[in-house]
Structure 1
Amino acid sequence: MDYVESGPRGQDEAGSEGKHDMTAVRVGMVDDHPSPVWGIDRILEPHNDLDFVCAAATVSELLSKSSDLDVVILDLRLNDGTTPRENVERLADLGIGTVVYTSGEHPDLLRSAARAGTLGVVLKSASEDEILHAVRSAGAGEEVLTTEWAAAIDGDPNLDAVDLSPQLQRVLTLYASGGTSVSVGRELGVAADTVNEYLKRIRQKYADAGRPTRTKLDLFKRAVEDGWLPMPHRGRD
């Protein structure tokens, strides 16, 4: 799949030095379908303060092209199995802000991205002005406050975030993905009884948050809701 890649823009018809300068917001995009990428490039191209640098189907591929970015426009559902949470956190660790670009059909994924620190959400049905405002705001390190984002985070009082340590996260993802106490223990190098104790702690944390996990399926749902596991694909976002 060929994606738009651009560096500094060339001279314009008036013979100026072109749009690229050191103050322009450097923008990347992650989407595994080309049409949204072409659309965003068309929207950003006329504006001297925005430089669309590159795009890719995954965050890893994008960073292999350039990590010198200010903002990444991020699709929520990618075919590489990564979660919005891990993608947002990975980019944030490099000092890159994210704006989620979505059809808005999956509030669980929006919550996952929000908890990881995305600067905001823009619907794919948004106007060009809304998209430009979002990118500029994110480039300035400001949150992109939209009704869709607020509704995704605040719309369900039962979805209070649960903070898990890295070890408990690992236990949850392995067990909720189909593992047993024995297989998870083998993977982590601990006894099965220790895994069971970890699972008790995880269940208690979710119970305290008003989000009970009585079954293994409940654990899987909570792991998806909080961004520890990707949502199963049932069509495109």
Structure 2
Amino acid sequence: MGLKAMLADQSELTIVASAPTVPELLATGSELDLVILDLRLADGSSPKTNVEQLRAVGVEALVFTSAEDPYLVRLAAKAGVLGVLRKSEPTATVIAAITAAANGEQVVTTEWAAAIDGDPGLQDVGLSPRQRDVLALYASGEKAARVASLTGLAPHTVNDYLGRIRAKYAEAGRPARTKTDLYKRAVEDGWLPIPTRDQPK
């Protein structure tokens, strides 16, 4: 409703359809130039999945969000959205961003850049994709043996990776001596989602 109100006086921008999920939106059969996508939808779907579904049918997306979860913002940004726009932005900024995105232009914002590059206030530790996988699994609560089973790595390799990961964080001035520390680092870097109240950490 807020978005419709913002665009009410914009003759070149028309909301042709809305839906609680991407599949339901696509099922309307509406001709879409751009989808304005929230990060949290009714079906609990991943932003990455939603963006991929839209791009598969030739439709680009602009994320319009409160941006409270850097993990979800990063998923959407890396899936290839045209930009990430905060709902708190002034109406004029929102209209300009939607207009640009509808014309296929990239909408470069601080949130979008930070999601792509990581939090500029946190020094990148340069983890490899495999190390990130191990970190995410281990920090989310799995034991090293279970991580080995899930990744197909040998247990000693997992332990070696964990040692290297801890060393990299220590070198970056972000020590991660305990499993809880590793969890915090993984959340900070967007490799794990921020916990909700029903998922305490």
TM bucket normalised to smaller? 0.5 to 0.7
1:158 equivalent to 2:122? Answer: yes
2:150 maps to: 187
1:211-230 matched pairs, under 5 angstroms: 211-230=174-193
Higher percent of residues as strand? 1
68-77 or 168-177: bigger deviation: 68-77
Q: Secondary structure of 2:150's match?
A: helix
The number of aligned residues is: 195
Q: Is the 8 A contact 2:51 2:61 kept in 1?
A: no
Aligned residue identity for 1:193:
H
Using the size of structure 2 for normalisation, the TM-score is 0.66
Aligned residue identity for 1:160:
D
Using the size of structure 1 for normalisation, the TM-score is 0.59
1:41 maps to: 4
Aligned residue identity for 2:97:
A
What is the CA RMSD across the aligned residues, in angstroms?
A: 4.1
Aligned residue identity for 1:90:
E
1:9-158 matched pairs, under 5 angstroms: 38-44=1-7, 47-58=10-21, 62=25, 69-77=32-40, 86=48, 90=52, 94=56, 96-104=59-67, 106=68, 108-109=70-71, 112=74, 116=78, 117-146=80-109, 156-158=120-122
1:173 equivalent to 2:116? Answer: no
2:194 maps to: 231
Distance 1:126 1:216, change over 3 A: same
Distance 1:215 1:92, change over 3 A: farther
Q: Is the 8 A contact 1:111 1:226 kept in 2?
A: no
Q: Is the 8 A contact 2:127 2:165 kept in 1?
A: no
Overall identity of the aligned pairs, in %? 46
Q: Is the 8 A contact 2:19 2:25 kept in 1?
A: yes
Q: Is the 8 A contact 1:137 1:144 kept in 2?
A: yes
Offset of residue 176 of structure 1: 1.4
Aligned residue identity for 2:191:
W
Q: Secondary structure of 2:15's match?
A: strand
Offset of residue 208 of structure 1: 5.3
Aligned residue identity for 1:158:
L
Q: In the aligned structure 1, how far is the partner of 2:19 from the partner of 2:66? A: 19
Q: Return 5+ residue gaps in structure 1 as ranges.
A: 1-37
Q: Is the 8 A contact 1:82 1:230 kept in 2?
A: no
Q: In the aligned structure 1, how far is the partner of 2:175 from the partner of 2:55? A: 32
Offset of residue 169 of structure 1: 3.3
Q: Return 5+ residue gaps in structure 2 as ranges.
A: none
Q: Is the 8 A contact 1:73 1:101 kept in 2?
A: yes
